[in-house]
Structure 1
Amino acid sequence: MANHAEKPEKFPGLHFKRWQHNMFFYLTTLNLVWFLTESTPPATNAEGETETQALSTVDAWKHSEFLCRNYVLNGLVDALYNVYSSIKTSKELWESLEKKYKTEDAGTKNFVVARFLDYKMVDSKTIISQVQELKVILHDIFAKGMTLSETFQVAAMIEKLPHSWVEFKNYLKHKRKEMTIDDLIV
């Protein structure tokens, strides 16, 4: 009997990469993950295999492929289930979801980068709260699989300090020793 404790929540159309990773793990625990990449085997007899054995192998494959496809479909919210239920194989279903939602992930990457580039600190809020907001944006960037060196992050944070901090910004820029983000915050 399969352990369904790892069953991912239904995919609502957001955070595809996270859902995909969870579904992949779930299908791995059920020993069905390989149906996402494999095509139907030919119904021909392998060397030394009887026709009955060949048909039995194909029937077993079809049954397991059916299970895999339906586990993926049942991992979608009802509206998405209705859209994707006509797709006949697990492989085609998986590829279709990737094509649709990985493209959307690229758009959200652009949005997160724009949030980071547009962010400016102001005098009307505490610096610590603004640094936390910036750290959340950086976390979102890393969560999307993008990387920024710590040196770049420190330099960007210095540049985002409010205009009234111009002398302190210049002081920080002229320091010879590289700082970490924690050093900068302190």
Structure 2
Amino acid sequence: MTDLFRMTDRIDRIEDGSNGNVAIDMYYRFKEDIDNMKKMGFDSFRVSISWSRILPGGRRCAGVNKEGIKYYNKLIDALLANVIGEDHIDHQIISFNITLLMISWLILFFGTGIAAYQNFKRCQIKLMLVLDIAKMDFVLTKPKPKPVEESKNYDKELTSWENADKICKSIILNALSNELFDVYCLMKHAHEIWDSLVNKYVIEDVGIKKYVIGNFLGYQMTDDKVVSAQIYEFHIIVGKLANAT
């Protein structure tokens, strides 16, 4: 209401004529803010997501604001690169102002899906953030509880694991670009799907990097080609090497 009041012709009723059109301006200056946080030694950051920026119409069917998604995607990337860091991802938490019912929407920030990512490791880190926030990432590392005579909390632990596994599996599947994956997927648990994705994309990534590095180290100029053409070929190899590393 205050913003609407300031936008009307009643602005003259405000003593200094100020308005709230521009506040901290983080939307445009987040890189500068994060750079200052890095200099000050911060290792965590609380992000409050403006859902009206993601869903301006209030509902998914009313359309998603791609620019809003792009902004939060860049923000998370900048935080991972400068504040949180990949080495601390397991025990540092970005505290988003969301409920569990909204966690699936967070997948929208990560692009079109895991399978569409050229850098699976970056997507892997982001998805782990979602599971960490939901406190369900334990199902990816801890096996399903087995009945033990000495354990009095078995039923409670089993129910907790099964519920977390169900939601975790749903979150991972929702992040895939292949919408039919769950139809023909024979894996029943979240950790099985997760391990298969890691094995597929991480191993492929390592293989590609070895191939590119091998081309770089093994490149030799020959007498049967024009020098300029060989220089061009070498520049392409160097470019691929830079992208791979």
Q: Tell me which amino acid in the other structure corresponds to 1:67.
A: I
| Cα shift at 1:66 | 0.6
Contact 1:116/1:137 (<8 A) preserved: no
**TM-aligned CA distance change 1:99 to 1:119, over 3 Å:** same
Q: Tell me which amino acid in the other structure corresponds to 2:158.
A: V
The aligned counterpart of 1:58 is 158
The aligned counterpart of 1:174 is none
Higher mean alpha-carbon deviation, 58-67 vs 3-12, is at 3-12
1:140 aligns with 2:240: no
**TM-aligned CA distance change 1:31 to 1:54, over 3 Å:** same
The aligned counterpart of 1:17 is 121
Query: Aligned partners of 1:130, 1:21: CA distance in 2, in Å?
Result: 34
Contact 2:148/2:154 (<8 A) preserved: yes
Q: Which has the higher contact order (CA 8 A, sep 6+)?
A: 1
| Cα shift at 1:109 | 0.6
1:37 aligns with 2:141: yes
> Superposition pairs for residues 60-139 of structure 1, below 5 Å?
60-78=160-178, 81-82=181-182, 85-114=185-214, 116-117=216-217, 118=219, 123=228, 136-139=239-242
Q: Tell me which amino acid in the other structure corresponds to 2:199.
A: K
| Cα shift at 1:82 | 4.2
Aligned residues, how many?
A: 136
**TM-aligned CA distance change 1:80 to 1:99, over 3 Å:** farther
Larger Rg: 1
Query: Aligned partners of 2:167, 2:126: CA distance in 1, in Å?
Result: 17
Identity in percent: 25
**TM-aligned CA distance change 1:79 to 1:67, over 3 Å:** closer
| Cα shift at 1:76 | 0.9
| Cα shift at 1:136 | 4.0
Query: Aligned partners of 1:78, 1:96: CA distance in 2, in Å?
Result: 15
Contact 1:32/1:65 (<8 A) preserved: yes
Q: Tell me which amino acid in the other structure corresponds to 2:122.
A: R
Query: Aligned partners of 2:175, 2:220: CA distance in 1, in Å?
Result: 37
TM-score by length of 2: 0.44
**TM-aligned CA distance change 1:31 to 1:84, over 3 Å:** farther
| Cα shift at 1:36 | 0.8
Q: Tell me which amino acid in the other structure corresponds to 2:211.
A: F
Unaligned runs of 5+ in 1: 143-186
Structural RMSD (CA): 3.5
Query: Aligned partners of 1:119, 1:137: CA distance in 2, in Å?
Result: 17
Unaligned runs of 5+ in 2: 1-98, 222-226
| Cα shift at 1:79 | 5.6
TM-score by length of 1: 0.56
Query: Aligned partners of 1:119, 1:81: CA distance in 2, in Å?
Result: 44
